[in-house]
Structure 1
């Protein structure tokens, strides 16, 4: 926070009014002058790191709420919504949108909510997968109670030592009278795991890799022992569709299973000690790259936070089948497809190799933020060889990546970043030879005497 100027006047003013304090009284509690607080509330001064610490200490304040514009995707999210052709005649430029976010973030959030309910996104509102994803991101993909329960269970089972698969097998046998049996592919041709209560068996496909086998055993144990805890969280979500609730509950079960294999405290200490070295963490915890990537998006325990990673899983067509923003501000991954200039696509050409790239989001020739260090690798869809292949990519803001193991030898100087966009339909970059579709909401321009390098030329609105 010391490096980034945070203008959060409306958030500070709402907190003061909620506490029923005058500016003088609140200034006293924050150890600043009333005139300085007045300037902060009017967005004429940024919130310093010292003031943030006082807010946390005096009001049990969550500093993430200072970045309230992130809930709507920040400036990029607002630009995307105003790009709708219904607003084209208003000529609202980027500077005006920035002023709206700074002066009235709640009004901007209200506009975004109305737009999402009635705009193009409304078509997806009945989609159970989209509804489940929204609920996951509402929690920022961190479920503190599940993490604590998983740590306690891991300690009880002594998962920090010995063979994890053996410990899980013993737990199922001793507590639930279930044996584990590995069956040939011919017996389970299209099934990874099956619970046979008649035979008292957890049956696994022989095609599962060791990390996937351990995860399936952990998942089976979670579904038996943690059903009530998971159902309680799922019931608390506001879903109109039972399928969405079931998808959310399935995510929670997978979350607990991953937390059991990678207990929060021990996992975070290993991350920090190794510089988040991905291959080392995979081997130390006996997990797959995809399982590790999932876990890295969840490290948001109060007082014990990890680095804010995002994660996506994409297919060869560039379509996202999984998206976890977590505590990051990577809203460029909220589209349905990715930019072809992103090296995550190259992972398919070099299966099993980690593709590391420094990228920066650019719109209309302007760079947004300081860029992202991304790391991508191919994975098998189910963990079974020969199954559908995807690329899993994780990323973190470049300013936070300097000490990462995978950042060694990578220049994180802003001029060295590869410019990318948020998918062609949402991208406003001009002159991109990789463009396959014109940006949504922009008028196409045609020049009878000139043919540009890109098939689509477009105007500002």
Structure 2
């Protein structure tokens, strides 16, 4: 996949001002023309790979600052904020957002900070919803585009060491915990741990796991324990750098990073990416090859953004039968489908519950014309037993359609044919649709007692378009 163009004039300009240089002086140090540097700073030219290397060599510049330093997190993050129903009547398209970032990066950053700091966004019913630790956690993960390079590199090194010791990853981790950290793994009956899946008993020097865990989950739990010990310093540095004001958000972030490291040990970056490319990102093959669960593989696909070795930019969302999202990762996809608190019922992620275990493939099209190929499947949490309340989630995985034709799951999909028109939610969608359960935010309702349309709600200010397939 071709590398995306990086427009990061704001970061280059900030670096130049920090060093106290004029454009002419900095251009001379970088062996480029002042006019070219001026165009870069104005976001009229992308930062080339050669210029990126030169910046790193000359100014000890961290390339990750180009992504992390974008005003408001970049165009995709600004668009996600503007997807809030309170802005539905403004119809701001992606070109306007990019022009705003290029022409007034400070204003875009000010908007993003104000939006985030107020902690108030409109929910699906239009009511205000207070900010919460999970929202803070998501913002920090998205700031890194879901990829933590240092953790991935350390996990890959550790995975290689474990692989040399034994072909069985779970056994190798158990042996390392026992020999290096004096911790043994003990599998306990469910009546001993009725409400727990994992527990670390430091007094007994044991990692205690429930017998209800399947092999993939046992390996993950063991890798998680190893991450808590051997990746502690790297994780704490990231947690400290996030600067959370809320302690709950800080703890959630620490847990997320520990899980990230554990998954990276199970699915080491280079080997996993090679397997993805060789199999056409075949989810079931990847599960078997790396001894992982469907949800673990799906989440891992959203993190493959190593500089110089990027995977396809997937997004992932996990919902329950009521449509409530418990996990949302947009990674580098920039997809707005992860942002809304409600989802379109025409998206087959909801239909996955009708066929448990089967992968539903769907080509969808949003109002702005963007097309996405989505894959949806149910997953069942660990620890479920007979007699308990049945728990089930659906995982939706998606990729921009123009990148998806090489996927194993895309065989037989006509990317030039008709796609299912969907919205982000009824409150954020302006289409006329018989499935609509609420009018769009910011639209004037039109009431005509002499007419009844296919939709229960008729409203003005939009071009009427059908949102269903004939």
Once the two structures are TM-superposed, the CA of residue 392 in structure 1 deviates from its matched residue by 1.0
| 1: CA distance, partners of 2:242 / 2:139 | 10
1:284 correspondence with 2:284: no
Q: Deviation digits for residues 362-392 of structure 1, max 9, x if unmatched?
A: 1xxx42x3x1111111111236566621011
- Assess if the C-alpha contact under 8 Å between 1:209 and 1:384 holds in 2: no
Closer, same or farther: CA 306–197 of 1 in aligned 2, 3 Å: same
| 2: CA distance, partners of 1:13 / 1:149 | 29
Counterpart secondary structure, 2:349: helix
Q: Deviation digits for residues 71-96 of structure 1, max 9, x if unmatched?
A: 354674465358449xx7xx786586
Taking the TM superposition and a 5 Å limit, the aligned residue runs for 1:25-424 are 26=27, 34=35, 47=45, 52-60=48-56, 71=74, 73=76, 76-77=79-80, 79-80=82-83, 83-84=86-87, 100=100, 103-118=103-118, 120-121=120-121, 126-158=131-163, 162-362=167-367, 366-367=368-369, 369=370, 371-382=371-382, 384=384, 388-413=391-416, 415-424=417-426
TM-score (norm 1): 0.84
Counterpart in the other structure of 1:425: 427
- Assess if the C-alpha contact under 8 Å between 1:79 and 1:97 holds in 2: no
| 1: CA distance, partners of 2:34 / 2:236 | 49
Counterpart secondary structure, 1:195: strand
Q: Deviation digits for residues 188-246 of structure 1, max 9, x if unmatched?
A: 21110122334333221111111111111111222233333322321222212111111
| 1: CA distance, partners of 2:246 / 2:15 | 39
Counterpart secondary structure, 1:343: coil
- Assess if the C-alpha contact under 8 Å between 2:85 and 2:427 holds in 1: no
Counterpart secondary structure, 2:397: strand
- Assess if the C-alpha contact under 8 Å between 2:356 and 2:377 holds in 1: yes
| 2: CA distance, partners of 1:69 / 1:439 | 26
Unaligned runs of 5+ in 1: none
Unaligned runs of 5+ in 2: 57-62, 123-127, 463-470
Give the aligned CA root-mean-square deviation in angstroms. 3.4
The farther-off stretch of 8-17 and 377-386 is 8-17
Counterpart in the other structure of 1:438: 439
Closer, same or farther: CA 427–119 of 1 in aligned 2, 3 Å: farther
TM-score (norm 2): 0.82
- Assess if the C-alpha contact under 8 Å between 1:7 and 1:102 holds in 2: no
- Assess if the C-alpha contact under 8 Å between 1:314 and 1:320 holds in 2: yes
Taking the TM superposition and a 5 Å limit, the aligned residue runs for 1:15-30 are 18=17, 20=21, 22=23, 26=27
Once the two structures are TM-superposed, the CA of residue 69 in structure 1 deviates from its matched residue by 7.6
Once the two structures are TM-superposed, the CA of residue 147 in structure 1 deviates from its matched residue by 1.2
| 1: CA distance, partners of 2:366 / 2:26 | 42
Counterpart secondary structure, 2:405: coil
Closer, same or farther: CA 75–444 of 1 in aligned 2, 3 Å: farther
Closer, same or farther: CA 65–112 of 1 in aligned 2, 3 Å: closer
Closer, same or farther: CA 389–251 of 1 in aligned 2, 3 Å: same
| 1: CA distance, partners of 2:16 / 2:438 | 48
| 2: CA distance, partners of 1:225 / 1:75 | 36
Counterpart secondary structure, 2:366: strand
Closer, same or farther: CA 324–264 of 1 in aligned 2, 3 Å: same
| 2: CA distance, partners of 1:164 / 1:460 | 59
Closer, same or farther: CA 16–459 of 1 in aligned 2, 3 Å: farther
| 2: CA distance, partners of 1:9 / 1:197 | 48
Counterpart secondary structure, 1:444: coil
Closer, same or farther: CA 312–143 of 1 in aligned 2, 3 Å: same
- Assess if the C-alpha contact under 8 Å between 1:81 and 1:112 holds in 2: no
| 2: CA distance, partners of 1:193 / 1:16 | 46
Count of paired positions: 444
| 2: CA distance, partners of 1:126 / 1:75 | 17
Counterpart secondary structure, 1:434: coil
- Assess if the C-alpha contact under 8 Å between 1:218 and 1:257 holds in 2: yes
- Assess if the C-alpha contact under 8 Å between 1:150 and 1:263 holds in 2: yes
- Assess if the C-alpha contact under 8 Å between 1:151 and 1:263 holds in 2: yes
| 2: CA distance, partners of 1:2 / 1:149 | 26
